[in-house]
Structure 1
């Protein structure tokens, strides 16, 4: 299996609680880049502060042209699409919402798939819409791994269900199993 360079995580309804649990379970020695896109944050500084209370890794807001860094959590700012560029830097876009969402999980996942290919893990958590399903399909086509929260374990099952129906998954697990799974995949 190729080395995992980056992890992209998408969530919506119920996302902050799910992120807190998942990020809190990641090994503090993890050197993989972790990029989060959440629809529920109108203030990413507040979301970063909340997640930092639970995460074993530093949590910051992703900024335009900033390098993607390993060993930390970088969160998409509100009202911008977050994209990964070939030079492993972030780009922000104010293009129209995709599936009524900006930031769009699909946009982040598709751009990350182009850059990282089989060195990418994409994670779909709880949410009440279908954003992330098409992006997850892009990740799988590029050889990346797909991890989806079990729909019956999610606060809102629509997002993981849509992802499973459109893209399938390499792993479909309960939220409390995700952190240990990611640690095993990235640190072995």
Structure 2
């Protein structure tokens, strides 16, 4: 496994998480391991079916001590809250830090997709960002990973060997930009060390 995470004293202002197939289970595991109080907002792009009402907030709330909600257009993200992109909308971060929702075209056959979230957040937060790529069956997130690293951010990728679907994490690893490639169960601990240094 590659590991070159920054010193915990270096500040992060936001955590991004991207997932697709198998992602709700993966998100549940990761969020359950995050210690409170979480000092930053967590923004999530999970591929969701648009033809039915999503239960993702209810499901993730069962496992996490953090507040979980669907992101709303124009709201300012708050520390300790998990903002999930709603079905059929890309979640982005605007220059003033507010969240925005877009129904622009699908990316990697998905809306919401990881790349718009990662790319827009990287432009706003620069090096003060930690981006995580979890299980998924396509290559979404790879372009976003490159954007995060180009702006000096930190990238953690689920080890493809531990992923329910390896496509997304493998594509992220293949960019050569991952700071750490970890089993799913170890990602929350890595985030806790970065966000809540002892």
TM tier relative to shorter chain: over 0.9
Q: Distance in 2 between matches of 1:17 and 1:154?
A: 11
Contact 1:109 1:136 in 2 (8 A): yes
**CA shift for structure 1 position 56:** 1.4
Counterpart of 1:139 (choices 148, 152, 166) is 148
Counterpart of 2:39 (choices 23, 31, 45) is 31
Where do 5+ consecutive residues of structure 2 fail to align? 1-6
Q: What's 1:164 paired with? A: 173
**Post-superposition CA distance 1:66-86 (Å, at most 9, x none):** 111111111001101111011
Contact 2:49 2:88 in 1 (8 A): no
1:49 paired with 2:58, answer yes
Higher share in helix: 1
TM-score by length of 1: 0.96
**CA shift for structure 1 position 92:** 1.0
Q: Distance in 2 between matches of 1:107 and 1:136?
A: 11
**Post-superposition CA distance 1:82-111 (Å, at most 9, x none):** 110111111111111111111110000000
TM-score by length of 2: 0.92
Where do 5+ consecutive residues of structure 1 fail to align? none
| Cα distance change of structure 1 residues 63 and 121 upon mapping to structure 2, 3 Å threshold | same
Aligned-residue RMSD, C-alpha: 1.2
Q: Distance in 2 between matches of 1:167 and 1:112?
A: 20
